[in-house]
Amino acid sequence: MKNIIEIKNLVKKYDNFTLGGLSLDIPSGCIIGLIGENGAGKTTLIKCLLNIIKKDQGEIKIFGKSNYLNDDIGVVLDNMFFPEILKPYEIGKIMQGIYQNWDTELFNNYLKEFELPTNKPIKELSKGMRKKLEIATALSHHPKLLILDEPTSGLDPVVRSEVLDLFLEFIQDEDKSIILSTHITSDLEHIADKIIFIDEGKIVLNEMRDDIIDDYGILKCSKEEFKNIKKEDIVRYKQNKYNYEVLVKNKKEIKKKYKKMVIDNITLEELMVLMIKGEA
């Protein structure tokens, strides 16, 4: 697999936050899910990728080039970014004058598919409709890479699944990739090939989704049972009112080791919470 994004030692410093020394290779043909709590650095990373903010150190290459911003990248940012006085059909006309590969027919099809009014100011559209308009715009210039910051936030479950299906359809072509950040980790359980977990500006996990689901488990036990678990088997643990939740890796081996204890499969959400809130 070719790498579509290569990041070496990326550093971005703020007064009270540092995105520190990130190195990352993102292969083409897959969906990368970026997770982490608010303020963890997901948006900072995406903004660095898109040259919205300037990196302090490091190197970013997309499609093998350092100067990469072109038609091949489709973008959705976390906040609304179209001037709200504009109307969807005007957005189409504007983008026609910006992207060489702009496909008016495709854009109009998306507007129809998403049931978006073409002649209504954006300020009168619901949050979900605006998001759909942004996604339609990002897809309508035939990009090879989609960089999406919270593309599903504000969407109801029905629309969300529509949008996720669109992403899956997009990725059918091996040359294409998506990198998306989200709070809604359950979305990623359906579509992401790889999960990158960022906490306090650092990558704490960078693994294939299937490996995470296969490897990690959550062991729930009493205080006495907890005392019997070897320290090296604990990735993180959290003490609840009545029990302990222990994050374990190599689930199958752990199962053999502690036969009496129950080890459940883990969701990305549980993993995230334990990684952040749990003790090591």
- Contact residues for another protein (CB under 8 A)? 47, 50-54, 69-71, 73, 75, 77, 79-87, 90, 93-100, 121, 147
Identity of the residue, 72 or 245, whose beta carbon is nearer to another protein in the bound complex: 72
Cβ 201 to another protein shortest distance, Å? 17
Nearest distance from C-beta of residue 156 to another protein, angstroms = 23
Judged by CB, which is closer to another protein: 74, or 217?
74
SS3 58: strand
User: Nearest approach, Cβ of 12 to another protein (angstroms)?
Assistant: 10
Least Cβ distance, residue 231 to another protein (angstroms): 44
Please identify, using beta-carbon distances, which residue of 32 and 218 lies nearer to another protein. 32
Distance between CA atoms of residues 181 and 34, nearest Å: 4
Q: Which is nearer to another protein, 54 or 256 (CB)?
A: 54
Taking the chain, what is the end-to-end CA distance rounded to the nearest angstrom? 35
Tell me which residue of 252, 248, 258, 251 sits closest to 280, measured CA to CA. Answer: 248
Both tokens of 176, joined, read 């294409």
CB of 86 to another protein, least distance (A): 6
Q: In which residue are the tokens 């006085």 written?
A: 85
Least distance from another protein to the Cβ atom of residue 112, Å: 21
Phi–psi pair at 96, nearest 5 degrees: -60, -35
**In this structure, how many other beta carbons lie within 10 angstroms of the beta carbon of residue 134?**
21
Nearer to another protein, 75 or 261 (CB): 75
Nearer to another protein, 181 or 185 (CB): 181
At its nearest, how many Å lie between another protein and the CB of residue 255? 47
Residue 110 has which token pair?
A: 């998306």
Q: Report the relative pairing of strands 177-181 and 31-35 from DSSP bridges.
A: parallel
Beta strand ranges found along the chain (DSSP E): 3-13, 18-27, 31-35, 57-62, 73-76, 145-149, 177-181, 194-199, 202-208, 217-221, 236-239, 244-248, 262-265
Nearer to another protein, 96 or 243 (CB): 96
